[in-house]
Structure formats: C-alpha cells, structure tokens
C-alpha cells in the first residue's frame, strides 16, 4: 500500500475530507466575488450590466473558469454525498440518541440538508437568472444583456425573494460550520488560532449570507 | 461521605440481546432502594443480583477497574456515551446525578465497527487492529539510549501526554454521528508525531493507521466534535487536525523502496 | 512429595551475580528461536513486556488476556510512578541505595540477589519506556522530572501525571501490537486460564475458557509464563479491578507450583472508605496526598461534630504524634495499622465510623488553593465525583484497603516456579518485595521481569531442556480439559439459593476481619474453620444460572470464588504459622510495647513455600532460608 499512498489519499477518509475542505473554501471564495458583483445592483443598472458584460467578454477564459467552478462544485457535492452515505452506514443505530450539547451544533448536524437545499437552489438559480429571460440594453454605446432587468424582475416576486432569503440562510448555516471545519480537516487547528478561525467562520456566514439576502430584499423593496 | 438516607426508585429500559445473530430489544426493569452514593455500575450489580436470584440471565456488561482508567466500561446512557457527563466514564457516574422516579435508557456503545456481543457488551477489537497498524515506536527492547539523551520541551511532552491519556474506550466512536474512530486513532498518531522518538516512522504510521481505520467500518470525521465533548479524558480534536496534517504530508512525500526497486 | 526450592542464586559478589549469570546462561540460536512457542498469560506490565520482547527475539508468542483488549490489564490503574536509580536529581541515589531501601521496606523478607538485580535493571526500564514514546513528566529544560515517594530519602520516582501505570502499560502494549502486526504474537482476548497442562513434569500448555462462547480451548507450547497479577480480590473489596483474580496462579499451585508467603498482603492506607453493602470496589487515592495532607481523628470517642467544628486541640494528629520524624509519610503498613487502631478505639469518623480524616486545610492555608490544585487537582476531582464532598472545603475521609499481594508463586532466580517451564512474572510471583512493597516499585518489578530478566532466563531454559514434541491431542490436555468441564458442570448443577457474590462477600468479611491488617492465633484458627464451612456451603448452595454455552458471567465469577475459598484458607494458615510480625503481616501476639511489629529473625528469616497435597489433605509448609550477606538485619523504625 506504501507505493500507492497518493492513490490511497483520494480514497481515504482524510484525503477526501481534505478535498471537501479545499473545494468548500474555494466555493467560499467564489461566494465573496459573487456577492461583490451583486452589490453593484445597488449602484445602478449600468454598473451591474457592465460588470456582467465584462465577464461575458472574457470569452474562452470564462468558459474555463466556469468549468473550473463547476468541477469544484461537483467534487464538493460528490464527495460530500459519498461521505454522508458511508457515515450513515457506520454510525450506531440507537433507540435513543441524544447529544451532549457540547459538541454537535444545529449547523453541523444539518450539513447534508443545507447542502441539498443549496444544490436545488443552485439549479433554480441558474435557470431563473443565468438562463432566465434575456433582455438587451445599450450602455456607453455597447449592446449587452440587461441582466439587471432579469434580476429585478425575478426579485419582484415575494415568493422568489422568500425562497432566496431562505436559501441564503441555509448558505450561512452551511458555511458557519463548513468554514472552520475545512480548516480543521486541512489540519489547521492550532490552539492559539482555532478559536479565531471559528469566529471568522461565523462572521463570514453572517456577512455573506446576510449580504446576498439583503440585496434580494433591497431589490424587492425597490420594485414595490 | 455526604450520604443521605433517602433511596431512589428507578425505571430502567435496558438493551437485551442474547447474541449477535438475534434481534435485541429494550426491556423494562425497576430497581428500588438505590443509594445516591452508589455508582451506576453498582446499581446494575444490584439489578443483576435480583435477576440471578430469580434464576434469570443477568445483564452482560463490560467493566473492570471501576476507577475510570481501564476503558473497559461502556454503555450509552439516555442516548449519551458514558452518560454524557464531562470527563467521566460510566463507572464514575454516581446515582446522585439522577432522581427517584427517573426512567433511564441503557444501550450498548453502538457503531458499525463495534458489533454487539451480548446485551451491553460490544466487540471493540477494531481499536486493537488500528493500534497494531502503527500505534507504536519500533524500539526493540535493549535499543534504548539514556532517557535524558534527547531533551523534550515540556510543552511538547505535555501535549503528547494530553493525547496519550486516551483509554481506548471507544466513546468517541459511539457518540460520533458518523461512527468515526478518528479521535482515538489521531490521539496515537498525534502523541507519537509530537515526540522525537516517534518521528522516524511518523509518515508510515499515519498512512497505515488511517488505511486500517478506514477499512474497519469506521465513518469519516465531519467535525461535529461530539467525540471531544464525550471523551472521558477530554482529548481535543486538535489531535485529529494534527493527524490530518501528518497524513497529508505522508501521502504526498513518503516513499519506501520495494524489493523490486532494490529496497530492503 | 517435596518441592525443589533451589533458588539458583549465582555465586560471586552481589553486584556481579547478574552479569555473571547472563554470561553463563545458554542462548538459543536466532534461527532456532522460531521453532519455539511460548504461552504468556496476562498482558499487564510483566506479560506485555515479556510478550513483546520474546517476540522481538524471534519466539512465537501466544498471548492470553481476560479483558477484551491487552491494553486494559490492571497495571493501567497504577497512579503514582515508577522507581529507578538514575540519580538524575543528584541526591545521592544509586543501585545500591534502591536495593537497600527495597530490602528494608520489605522488612527483610525478600531475596537479596533478586532485589539487587531489580535495582540494577531499573534504569534500563526508564530508557526503554522513553524510547517507546512514553510521555514522562519533564522539566522546562526538556529533561525528565522526578518526585519523592513513599517517604524515601531521595527523589527517584518517574511519573506521567497521575497515570504512570497507564502510560507504561500502553507503552508495553504498543510494543506488543508491533509484534502482533508482524505475526509473531497471536492474541487471544477474553480468555481465562482454567488449568496448566504438564507433560513429563514440565509445563507444556494451558486450558482456557473462551469467555464469549463458553468453550474450553487447548494451547500447547514449550514454556508457559504466568503474568496474572495478585490475588487481592480474595477480600472481595480491594483496589483491584473486578476480573483481577488468583485462579490461574492457584490452578498452577494445584499442579505442583509452590505458593510462597500467601499471607503477605499490602493494605494501602489512603483509600475511599466503604459506604454500603452494594459496594463493588475500593478506590485508591494516591499515596502522594500524604505529602501535604495531615491525618487525624477527633480525640473524643464518638465525636459527631463536623470536622470544621473540632478545634485543633481536640484533634489527634496521630501519625505526627506517634512517628515524629516520619509523620504523615510513614510507610504504608505502619500508617494502615495506625488508622485501624484509632477506629478500634472508637474514634473513627463518618457514617460507618470506619474512616479517618486526611486534611488539606493547613496546606491550603500555607501554599494557597492554586498550588494544592496544581498538585492534586485530578485526585480531588475524582474524590468529589465519588463522594460528593469537596476536599478543598472539608477533609477527605480515608481508610485502608487491600491493594497488593507480595506473596505469590515461588520462583527461583530465573523466575521459574517449582514446575519446570512454568515461569512467573510480576505481582504473581513472590520474589522482590518481601513482606511489604514500597510505593512505585510494582511497575518497576513487572517491567524488569518482562523486559530484562525473562528473555535471558527463558532462553537458558529452552536451550538447556530437552523438550519432546507435544500436541493438544495428548492425554494430558484431554484430562485437564475434562477436569475443568467436570468442575463447570458441577457448579452449574448445584442450583442452590445463594449467589456467587453472597459467598464472595462472606469470604471477604472473614478475610478482612481475621486475616486483614491485624491477625491473631484465635482469629486465624476461627477463620480457617469458617472458610472451610463456607466452602462446603458453596458447593451445596451456590446458584449459577444458565449453561456454559454462552457468555455466562456468573459462571466466570463462580470458578474464581471457588478458588478463593481455597486460597483464603491457605493465607490464613500461612499467617497462623508465621509467628512473628513483619511488614504487612501483623500478629498481635508479636508486638513491641508501643504496638510496633516485632520480627523474629531467628526463626522466620525465610520464605514459607506451600505445597499442595490434594483436596483432602493438609498442605505442606517448606521454607527457603533467606541469606543476608550484604545488609544488616535491623528493626525498622520510623519514630
């Protein structure tokens, strides 16, 4: 088994946890850039559309980036699902099971569920926005997609906003555990810093989850 | 002894299972005259005594030193391994923590890696198997230099001792929502990775122990830290992080020549 | 019948005996070692270290353990530490000092040559354990820390928090697991040794019960090592673990192994007192507590005031009063006896009046709570968990409890019993502690025997003994197994009215009252009668439900108690015959005017070795004279 240590890495519980952690942190990074983009909604239609147009103009590079992002998503989901299925098998089947209250949190216990909700959300989100109604507009003499309009239209529905806010709440929950947990999985738990990492994880969850939700509510209120 | 003369009556629901091949179930028992100074296991002793007098099969449970160090006692009490009290093994749980009239559910330590043998007794030989995979320093008797030949900084020795305190009871596995054995495995990896004596074979140890851990039906760590909360010796998941590091280093850098490559 | 009690002590000066013996002993060629199989019963410090070392040498080892894992053997519970003559603190320690202290502590009833060897190899043990990754306590400079223990004049005790036994055992266990992974050790867990099989007068195998399936199993080998610990559980309540038992040693005794000094029992002074008849075990509070705690009882009989309400002038700090120079640090046997005297006078405290105070009030006042918590925090927590009393606020209550048995199977210098091929290691043998064991010496002895003595002496045995081929189909195995089966079905067939625990508790009461801390002729004689009667009742009225076919816990207990009912009688008999007081053996008839032990060196400077002669005849008492050529026999005084 020695010579195939690297192979084993990808099949071992720790190796796969590393990968879940790394992909998780990459996704956390993606969320930050996405949120910064969304905040341009507050600036105005032109800023938002220009930003989107810039991205699209990347052409081939965008496809590479999107493919990379998709791969990160897929690896994260695939491994998380597999690990969870294995864990279902491994765990003790108790007639009565309680937690000590000092370990498992609501956040950690609901990881598979929040993850699943986020997956559904992701599909709908792509359908409704990226692949949603297409309008065009002209900014500074260039014709481009009016994704601002698509977005504002989408957020005009209280149902959409409700679902969106709920999904962002799940994202916050998921990252509140996932962020610091990734550090632990990658072996970055030092008694001097881990407490701070946890706090940063919670702040991240609140700011990012809250940020997205805020933008959607703002968009709804603007349309009313 | 802050003893009281008040005794308690308790309703117990205890897992009875004749052997691994049959289904088990929770059976109701009632014990009276329980003294608050009695230990939890002594309360079971009294119940067993009553059963034996009636000619019934007593409840099989593991126990030995009854002072919290051998790691033999198990039991999941009211859904929590060792009862869920901080830094306490089942044998050190005392009845004063309960009150008369309480209903207590007692099940074995459960996990895929710990099959039930009988009643509350489970097979924890998987722990030994993980240890045999590398939980040692290859230092044959007679090889040792003077004990003071290698100074070890006190904080390092203390951290190694924190990990070494593991009693191998398996409560981490029983309490883990994933049935993972990461805490006890990592405690050994971490102890020996910290100490200079353990460093020469640290990569090999990490690889082999993780490999064996995974192959025995233990689950994966998803950082609930329920193990840390349940561990009667208060072992921190920091040791899991260290094992994760050790494993990653080893997986990508350790290379041992095989025979065909001209190795030993 | 007779026993061969040749101690085989090598000639020459004391300090050269072991080196000379090692040179002279025969060795087994490395290629031939793999042809030998050795059975090791028990996985405590002695058994685990022996198994690991013999397997490293190339022997095939079959290791048996009664718990579910080798890592749970009761050596794990030792708290305080392990002695070695390293002299790291530069306080003048030496091999000779450790040797001398151990001989004196044992009240001159141990064999000089064995004890000297023990002191000699003590240093190797520390080195070996450090190399195996045992995290001993260290100073900031990175060097090993030492503490003083048991009133010794030097600091020679190495420790790992309050879990030294655990760390050493896990070290030895890890060495074993290394050899398990290499296939040189086969482990048989949850097995209890039921009998020894001898063929042509040599130990060649064992019969064990598989505790899960109930089936009997046979194992053959070229030699058998018995590392099964002591028999303190004869007393029902002791600091021993629940399955620690004397049966393996007792069955070997019945097969011809001499049993030496069975009456030498150590009663440890600082244990949590008995508080109810449901109690299953007595918990030790480390001896180190007596470094700062003061032991006292009220001066007035039957004083029921709270300890805090009793002013200093109405307290009797009796250890300080009786032993001004050693005070609260008087040795274990002496301190235990004094506690008993006070309770016998009616000055005991607590609900049962069978306890004395161990008070930290003055130490907390002097050093502050922080300092005391730093030293004893975990012990205080443990005490509070068990008793619900906070020792920072109110004194601990303690009372002596059975802790260790110095007696055991007789062995020669090579650790071989009177049965060739049966070697006995650790607490199970009698050799090193005389009539009283010093603190932090049990761990030392177990590891010395397993790591540094048996590998040499066993090789010598295997190389110099003609060993014919045997298999488990030989008649000796069949007969031994048959005998165990018969005993089992007999016990199961009784279906009487009393439980196994009833008998065990009754035996414990007899032993504690009459063969305990203080013994006299009348009591011992009546104990013998009572035990015989109880044994009779056991075989007519015990109730063991179920059958052998599965995990029958009551049956397991019953076979052990059946043996205790015989061993207990031998202990009483030995105590009766030893008409002197020495170490843990205190005969009321033999005391100085101020109640101290009075030895009789003229008549009793020997080990009493008992020979089993059958169920219906009396055992025969043989003696091995102890020759003291290097130390002067003196009266132990701690005044």
Query: In sequence order, what DSSP letters do the residues of B204-230 get, joined into one string?
Result: HHHHHHHHHHHHTT-----S--HHHHH
Helix/strand/coil percentages in chain B, nearest 5: 40, 15, 45
**C37 DSSP assignment:** E
* Neighbouring residues of C581: CB distance < 8 A, sequence distance ≥ 6: C587, C590, C591, C597, C598, C599
Q: Closest residue of B to C272, CA-based?
A: B1
Verify whether the Cβ–Cβ distance A16 to B255 is below 8 Å: no
* C468 Cα distance to chain centroid: 34
Q: Residue B81 in contact with residue B230, Cβ under 8 Å?
A: yes
SS3 C397: strand
| Residue B2 pLDDT > 70 | no
Nearest to C77 among B36, B69, B145 (CB): B69
B258 touches chain A (CB under 8 A): yes
Fold of C268-402: Flavocytochrome C3; Chain A, domain 1 (3.90.700)
Q: Is A88 exposed, middle or buried (0-12, 13-18, 19+ CB in 10 A)?
A: middle
Verify whether the Cβ–Cβ distance B211 to A1 is below 8 Å: yes
Domain with CATH 1.10.1060.10 in chain B: 124-253
Touching subunits for chain B (3+ Cβ pairs under 8 A): A, C
Of C637, C634, C510, C487, the closest CA to residue C575 belongs to: C510
Q: Is B260 exposed, middle or buried (0-12, 13-18, 19+ CB in 10 A)?
A: exposed
SS3 A55: helix
SS3 C62: strand
pLDDT digit string, tens, across residues C94-140: 999 999 999 999 999 999 999 999 999 999 999 999 999 999 999 99
Residue A78's pLDDT band (boundaries 50, 70, 90)?
A: very high
Q: Residue C21 in contact with residue C120, Cβ under 8 Å?
A: no
Fold of C475-605: Methane Monooxygenase Hydroxylase; Chain G, domain 1 (1.20.58)
B94 touches chain C (CB under 8 A): yes
| Residue A3 pLDDT > 50 | no
Q: What residues does each domain of chain A span? A: 14-87+108-223
For the CA atoms of A120, A124, A126, A128, the dihedral, rounded to the nearest 10 degrees, stands at -170
C241 touches chain B (CB under 8 A): yes
**Other Cβ atoms within 10 Å of C246 Cβ, number:** 27
Q: Residue B57 in contact with residue B51, Cβ under 8 Å?
A: yes
SS3 C88: coil
Mean predicted confidence (pLDDT) in C500-507: 97
- What span, in angstroms and rounded, lies between the C-alpha atoms of B49 and B36? 18
Verify whether the Cβ–Cβ distance C545 to B140 is below 8 Å: no
Of C286, C71, C374, C158, the closest CA to residue B166 belongs to: C71
Q: What backbone torsions phi and psi does residue B16 show, to the nearest 5 degrees?
A: -115, 130
Which one is predicted more confidently, C209 or A100? C209
Q: What backbone torsions phi and psi does residue C492 show, to the nearest 5 degrees?
A: -70, -25
Element (H, E) at A139: strand A136-139
Active-site position among C71, C209, C218, C332: C332
pLDDT digit string, tens, across residues B174-215: 999 999 999 999 999 999 999 999 999 999 999 999 999 999
Window 173-212 of B, Cβ < 8 Å to C: 191-192, 195, 197-198
Q: Closest residue of B to C84, CA-based?
A: B147
Of C134, C132, C135, C119, the closest CA to residue C87 belongs to: C119
pLDDT at C1 (0 to 100): 52
pLDDT digit string, tens, across residues B106-164: 999 999 999 999 999 999 999 999 999 999 999 999 989 999 999 999 999 999 999 99
Which residues of chain B make contact with C241, given a CB cutoff of 8 A?
A: 64-66, 70
Verify whether the Cβ–Cβ distance B213 to A13 is below 8 Å: yes
Window 432-471 of C, Cβ < 8 Å to B: 451-452, 455
The sign of the torsion formed by the CA atoms of C485, C488, C492, C493 equals positive
* C259 Cα distance to chain centroid: 14
pLDDT at C150 (0 to 100): 66
| Min distance C8 CA to chain B CA atoms (Å) | 25
- What span, in angstroms and rounded, lies between the C-alpha atoms of C192 and C85? 36
**C82 DSSP assignment:** E
Q: Is A105 exposed, middle or buried (0-12, 13-18, 19+ CB in 10 A)?
A: middle
| Residue B1 pLDDT > 70 | no
Window 189-218 of B, Cβ < 8 Å to A: 204, 207-208, 210-211, 213-214, 217-218
B225 touches chain A (CB under 8 A): yes
| Min distance A91 CA to chain B CA atoms (Å) | 4
Verify whether the Cβ–Cβ distance C278 to B38 is below 8 Å: yes
| Min distance B196 CA to chain A CA atoms (Å) | 20
Residue A2's pLDDT band (boundaries 50, 70, 90)?
A: very low
Q: Is A108 exposed, middle or buried (0-12, 13-18, 19+ CB in 10 A)?
A: buried
Fold of B124-253: Fumarate Reductase Iron-sulfur Protein; Chain B, domain 2 (1.10.1060)
pLDDT at C423 (0 to 100): 98
pLDDT at B264 (0 to 100): 44
Beta bridge partners of B142: none
| Min distance B65 CA to chain C CA atoms (Å) | 4
Whether C599 sits among the annotated catalytic residues: the reply is no
Q: Closest residue of B to A15, CA-based?
A: B248
Residue B246's pLDDT band (boundaries 50, 70, 90)?
A: very high
- What span, in angstroms and rounded, lies between the C-alpha atoms of B132 and C181? 5
| Residue A211 pLDDT > 60 | yes
SS3 C414: coil
- What span, in angstroms and rounded, lies between the C-alpha atoms of A3 and A34? 42
Which residues of chain B make contact with C69, given a CB cutoff of 8 A?
A: 71, 124-125, 127-128, 168
* Neighbouring residues of B46: CB distance < 8 A, sequence distance ≥ 6: B31, B34, B38, C278
B31 touches chain C (CB under 8 A): no
Which residues of chain C make contact with B39, given a CB cutoff of 8 A?
A: 280, 386
Which residues of chain B make contact with A95, given a CB cutoff of 8 A?
A: 15, 26, 105, 107
Q: What residues does each domain of chain C span? A: 268-402, 475-605
Of C98, C583, C518, the closest CA to residue C332 belongs to: C583
Residue C495's pLDDT band (boundaries 50, 70, 90)?
A: very high
* Neighbouring residues of C33: CB distance < 8 A, sequence distance ≥ 6: C57, C58, C59
Window 89-118 of B, Cβ < 8 Å to A: 105, 107, 109-114
Does an interface of 3+ CB pairs under 8 Å exist between C and A? no
* B244 Cα distance to chain centroid: 20
Verify whether the Cβ–Cβ distance A96 to B79 is below 8 Å: yes
Average pLDDT, chain C: 95
pLDDT above 90 coverage of chain A, percent? 92
pLDDT at C376 (0 to 100): 86
Mean predicted confidence (pLDDT) in A67-88: 96
Verify whether the Cβ–Cβ distance A104 to B213 is below 8 Å: no
| Residue C17 pLDDT > 50 | yes
- What span, in angstroms and rounded, lies between the C-alpha atoms of C300 and C64? 53
C80-89, C328-337, C408-417: range with lowest mean pLDDT: C328-337
- C362: left (phi > 0), else alpha (psi -120 to 50), else beta? alpha
Which one is predicted more confidently, C200 or C329? C200
| Residue B263 pLDDT > 50 | no
Verify whether the Cβ–Cβ distance B70 to C386 is below 8 Å: no
C374 touches chain B (CB under 8 A): no
Element (H, E) at C457: helix C454-464
3-state secondary structure C176-197: HHHHHHCCCEEEECCEEEEEEE
Verify whether the Cβ–Cβ distance B67 to C67 is below 8 Å: no
| Residue A8 pLDDT > 90 | no
pLDDT digit string, tens, across residues C512-563: 999 999 999 999 999 999 999 999 999 999 999 988 778 999 999 999 999 9
- What span, in angstroms and rounded, lies between the C-alpha atoms of A166 and A178? 18
Q: Is C487 exposed, middle or buried (0-12, 13-18, 19+ CB in 10 A)?
A: middle
Residue C201's pLDDT band (boundaries 50, 70, 90)?
A: very high
Q: Closest residue of A to B80, CA-based?
A: A98
Q: Which two tokens stand for residue C307?
A: 């300890």
| Min distance A10 CA to chain B CA atoms (Å) | 10
How many helices and strands in chain A, by DSSP H and E? 9, 2
Nearest to A94 among B110, B112, B211 (CB): B110
SS3 C66: coil
Q: Closest residue of C to B122, CA-based?
A: C68
Fold of B8-118: Ubiquitin-like (UB roll) (3.10.20)
Q: Closest residue of C to B147, CA-based?
A: C127
pLDDT digit string, tens, across residues C155-185: 999 999 889 999 999 999 999 999 999 999 9
pLDDT at C282 (0 to 100): 94
Q: Is B50 exposed, middle or buried (0-12, 13-18, 19+ CB in 10 A)?
A: middle
Query: Could you name the CATH architecture of A14-87+108-223?
Result: Up-down Bundle (1.20)
- What span, in angstroms and rounded, lies between the C-alpha atoms of C283 and C332? 16
Of B15, B38, B172, the closest CA to residue B95 belongs to: B38
pLDDT digit string, tens, across residues C377-407: 888 999 999 999 999 999 999 999 999 999 9
Q: Residue C247 in contact with residue C279, Cβ under 8 Å?
A: no
pLDDT digit string, tens, across residues C433-461: 999 998 899 999 999 999 999 999 999 99
Verify whether the Cβ–Cβ distance C389 to B1 is below 8 Å: yes
Verify whether the Cβ–Cβ distance B133 to C181 is below 8 Å: yes
Window 172-201 of C, Cβ < 8 Å to B: 173-175, 177-178, 180-181, 187, 189
pTM here?
0.96
- What span, in angstroms and rounded, lies between the C-alpha atoms of B255 and A5? 8
Q: Is C82 exposed, middle or buried (0-12, 13-18, 19+ CB in 10 A)?
A: buried
Widest distance between CA atoms in chain B: 76
- What span, in angstroms and rounded, lies between the C-alpha atoms of B171 and B215? 19
Q: Residue B242 in contact with residue B189, Cβ under 8 Å?
A: yes
Verify whether the Cβ–Cβ distance A87 to B178 is below 8 Å: yes
Verify whether the Cβ–Cβ distance B135 to C177 is below 8 Å: yes
- What span, in angstroms and rounded, lies between the C-alpha atoms of C3 and C283? 38
Of C360, C211, C364, the closest CA to residue C295 belongs to: C360
Window 207-236 of B, Cβ < 8 Å to C: none
Verify whether the Cβ–Cβ distance A185 to B244 is below 8 Å: yes
* C524 Cα distance to chain centroid: 22
Q: Closest residue of C to B169, CA-based?
A: C72
Of C99, C72, C104, the closest CA to residue C84 belongs to: C99
């Amino acid at each position: 088994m020695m010579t195939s240590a690297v192979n084993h890495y990808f099949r071992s519980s720790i190796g796969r946890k590393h990968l879940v952690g790394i992909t998780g942190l990459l996704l956390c990074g993606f969320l930050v850039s996405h949120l910064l983009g969304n905040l341009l909604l507050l600036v105005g239609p032109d800023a938002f559309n220009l930003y989107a147009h810039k991205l699209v103009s990347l052409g081939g590079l965008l496809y590479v980036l999107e493919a990379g992002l998709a791969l990160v998503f897929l690896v994260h989901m695939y491994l998380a699902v597999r690990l969870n299925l294995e864990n279902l098998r491994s765990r003790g089947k108790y007639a009565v099971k309680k937690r000590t209250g000092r370990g498992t949190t609501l956040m950690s216990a609901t990881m598979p569920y929040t993850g699943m909700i986020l997956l559904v959300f992701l599909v709908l989100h792509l359908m409704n926005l990226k692949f949603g109604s297409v309008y065009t507009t002209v900014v500074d003499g260039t014709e481009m997609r009016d994704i601002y309009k698509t977005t504002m239209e989408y957020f005009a529905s209280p149902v959409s906003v409700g679902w969106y806010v709920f999904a962002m709440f799940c994202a916050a929950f998921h990252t509140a555990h996932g962020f610091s947990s990734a550090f632990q999985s990658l072996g970055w738990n030092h008694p001097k810093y881990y407490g701070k990492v946890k706090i940063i994880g919670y702040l991240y969850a609140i700011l990012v989850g809250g940020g997205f939700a805020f933008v959607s509510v703002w968009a709804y209120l603007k349309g009313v | 002894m802050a003893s009281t003369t008040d005794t308690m009556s308790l309703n117990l629901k205890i897992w009875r299972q004749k052997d691994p091949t049959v289904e088990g179930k929770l059976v109701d028992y009632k014990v009276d005259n329980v003294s608050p100074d009695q230990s939890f296991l002594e309360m079971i002793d009294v119940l067993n005594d009553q059963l034996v007098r009636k000619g019934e099969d007593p409840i099989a449970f593991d126990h030995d030193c009854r002072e919290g160090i051998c790691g033999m006692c198990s039991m999941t009490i009211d859904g929590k391994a060792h009862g869920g009290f901080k830094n306490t093994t089942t044998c050190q749980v005392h009845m004063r923590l309960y009150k008369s009239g309480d209903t207590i559910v007692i099940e074995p330590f459960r996990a895929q890696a710990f099959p039930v043998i009988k009643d509350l007794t489970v097979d924890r030989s998987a722990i030994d198997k993980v240890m045999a995979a590398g939980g040692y320093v290859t230092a044959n008797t007679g090889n040792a230099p003077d004990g003071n030949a290698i100074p070890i900084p006190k904080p390092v020795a203390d951290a190694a001792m924190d990990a070494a305190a593991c009693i191998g009871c398996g409560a981490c596995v029983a309490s883990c929502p994933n049935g993972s054995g990461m805490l006890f495995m990592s405690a050994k990896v971490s102890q020996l990775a910290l100490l200079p004596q353990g460093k020469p074979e640290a990569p090999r140890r990490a690889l082999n122990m993780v490999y064996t851990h995974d192959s025995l039906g233990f689950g994966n760590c998803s950082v609930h830290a329920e193990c840390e909360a349940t561990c009667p010796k208060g072992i921190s998941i920091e040791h899991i992080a260290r094992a994760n590091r050790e494993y990653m280093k080893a997986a990508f850098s350790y290379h041992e020549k095989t025979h065909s490559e001209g190795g030993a | 019948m007779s026993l061969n009690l040749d101690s085989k002590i090598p000639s020459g000066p004391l300090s050269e005996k072991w080196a000379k013996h090692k040179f002279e002993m025969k060795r087994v060629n490395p290629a031939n070692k793999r042809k030998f199989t050795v059975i090791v019963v028990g996985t405590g410090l002695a058994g685990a270290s022996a198994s690991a070392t013999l397997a490293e040498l190339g022997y095939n080892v079959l290791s048996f353990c009664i718990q579910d894992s080798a890592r749970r053997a009761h050596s794990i519970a030792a708290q305080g530490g392990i002695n070695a003559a390293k002299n790291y603190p530069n306080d003048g320690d030496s091999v000779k000092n450790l040797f001398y202290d151990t001989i004196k502590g044992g009240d001159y009833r141990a064999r000089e040559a064995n004890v000297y060897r023990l002191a000699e190899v003590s240093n190797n043990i520390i080195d070996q354990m450090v190399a195996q990754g045992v995290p001993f306590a260290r100073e900031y400079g990175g060097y090993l820390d030492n503490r003083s223990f048991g009133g010794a004049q030097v600091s020679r005790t190495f420790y790992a928090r309050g879990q030294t036994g655990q760390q050493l055992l896990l070290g030895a266990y890890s060495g074993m697991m290394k050899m398990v992974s290499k296939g040189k050790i086969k482990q048989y867990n949850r097995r209890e040794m039921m009998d020894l099989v001898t063929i042509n007068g040599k130990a060649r195998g064992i019969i064990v019960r598989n505790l899960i399936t109930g089936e009997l199993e046979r194992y053959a080998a070229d030699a058998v090592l018995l590392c099964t610990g002591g028999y303190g559980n004869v007393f029902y309540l002791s600091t021993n673990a629940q399955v620690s038992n004397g049966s393996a040693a007792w069955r070997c005794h019945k097969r011809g192994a001499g049993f030496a000094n069975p009456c030498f029992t150590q009663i440890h002074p600082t244990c949590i007192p008995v508080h109810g008849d449901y109690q299953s075990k007595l918990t030790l509070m480390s001896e180190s507590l007596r470094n700062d705690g003061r032991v006292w009882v009220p001066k007035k009989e039957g004083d029921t005031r709270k300890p805090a309400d009793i002013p200093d002038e109405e307290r009797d700090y009796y250890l300080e009063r009786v032993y001004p120079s050693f005070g609260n640090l008087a040795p274990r046997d002496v301190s235990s006896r004094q506690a008993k005297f006070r309770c016998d006078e009616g000055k005991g405290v607590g609900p049962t009046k069978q306890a004395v105070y161990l008070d930290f009030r003055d130490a907390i006042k002097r050093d502050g709570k922080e300092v005391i918590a730093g030293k004893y925090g975990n012990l205080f927590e443990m005490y509070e968990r068990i008793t619900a009393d906070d020792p920072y606020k109110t004194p601990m209550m303690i009372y002596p409890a059975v802790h260790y048995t110095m007696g055991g199977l007789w062995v020669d210098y090579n650790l071989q019993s009177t049965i060739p091929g049966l070697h006995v290691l650790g607490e199970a043998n009698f050799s090193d502690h005389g009539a009283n064991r010093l603190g932090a010496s049990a761990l030392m002895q177990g590891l010395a025997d397993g790591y540094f003595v048996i590998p040499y002496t066993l090789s010598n045995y295997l190389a110099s003994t003609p060993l014919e081929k045997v298999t488990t189909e030989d008649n000796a195995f069949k007969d031994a197994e048959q005998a165990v089966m018969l005993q089992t079905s007999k016990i199961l067939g009784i279906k009487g009215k009393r439980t196994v625990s009833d008998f065990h508790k009754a035996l414990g009461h007899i032993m504690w009252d009459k063969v305990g801390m203080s013994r006299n002729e009348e009591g011992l004689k009546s104990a013998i009668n009572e035990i015989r009667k109880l044994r009779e009742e056991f075989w007519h009225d015990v109730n063991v439900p179920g059958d052998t076919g599965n995990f029958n816990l009551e049956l397991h207990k019953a076979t052990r108690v059946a043996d205790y009912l015989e061993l207990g009688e031998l202990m009483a008999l030995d105590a009766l015959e030893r008409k002197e007081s020495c170490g843990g053996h205190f005969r009321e008839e033999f005391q100085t005017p101020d109640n101290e032990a009075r030895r009789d060196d003229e008549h009793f400077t020997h080990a009493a070795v008992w020979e089993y002669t059958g169920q219906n005849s009396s055992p025969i008492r043989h003696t091995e004279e102890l020759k003291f050529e290097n130390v002067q026999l003196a009266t132990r005084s701690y005044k």
